[in-house]
Structure 1
Amino acid sequence: MKIFLNIIYWTLIVTALIQFVPVDRSNKPVKQEENFVYLLNTPPAVRQILKKACYDCHSNETVYPDYAFVAPISWSVKNHVNEGREHLNLSVWGRYNPDLKKSMLENSVHSVKEYAMPLPAYITRHPEANLTKAERVLLTNYFEEILKSGAY
Structure 2
Amino acid sequence: MIKKILLFLLVVLIVLQVFRPKKDNISTTPAPANINNFATVPADIDQMLKTSCYDCHSNNTVYPWYANIQPVGWWLDDHVEEGKKELNFDDYGNYNLRRQYHKLEEIAELVEAGEMPLPSYTIVHTNAKLSEEQKKMMTGWADQVMNDMKAKYPIDSLIRKK
TM-score by length of 1: 0.91
Q: Does 1:126 align with 2:125?
A: yes
Q: Aligned residue for 1:36? A: 35
TM-aligned CA deviation for residue 109 of structure 1: 1.1
What SS does the corresponding residue of 1:56 show, helix, strand or coil? helix
Q: Which amino acid aligns with 1:39?
A: F
TM-aligned CA deviation for residue 125 of structure 1: 1.4
Q: Distance in 2 between matches of 1:32 and 1:12?
A: 42
Residue pair 2:37, 2:93 contacting (<8 A) in 1 also = no
Structure 2: segments with no counterpart, 5+ residues: 154-162
Q: Aligned residue for 1:19? A: 17
| Aligned-residue identity in percent | 31
Number of residue pairs matched by the alignment: 150
Q: Which amino acid aligns with 2:100?
A: K
TM-aligned CA deviation for residue 22 of structure 1: 2.5
TM-aligned CA deviation for residue 35 of structure 1: 0.9
Q: Distance in 2 between matches of 1:144 and 1:31?
A: 23
Q: Does 1:4 align with 2:23?
A: no
TM-score by length of 2: 0.86
Q: Does 1:140 align with 2:139?
A: yes
Deviations 1:35-70 (A, max 9, x none): 112332311110110000000110111111111111
TM-aligned CA deviation for residue 107 of structure 1: 1.1
Q: Aligned residue for 1:110? A: 109
Q: Distance in 2 between matches of 1:64 and 1:13?
A: 25
Q: Which amino acid aligns with 2:62?
A: V
What SS does the corresponding residue of 2:70 show, helix, strand or coil? coil
Residue pair 2:35, 2:92 contacting (<8 A) in 1 also = yes
Q: Which amino acid aligns with 1:123?
A: T
Greater than 2 Å deviation, 4+ residue runs: 26-33
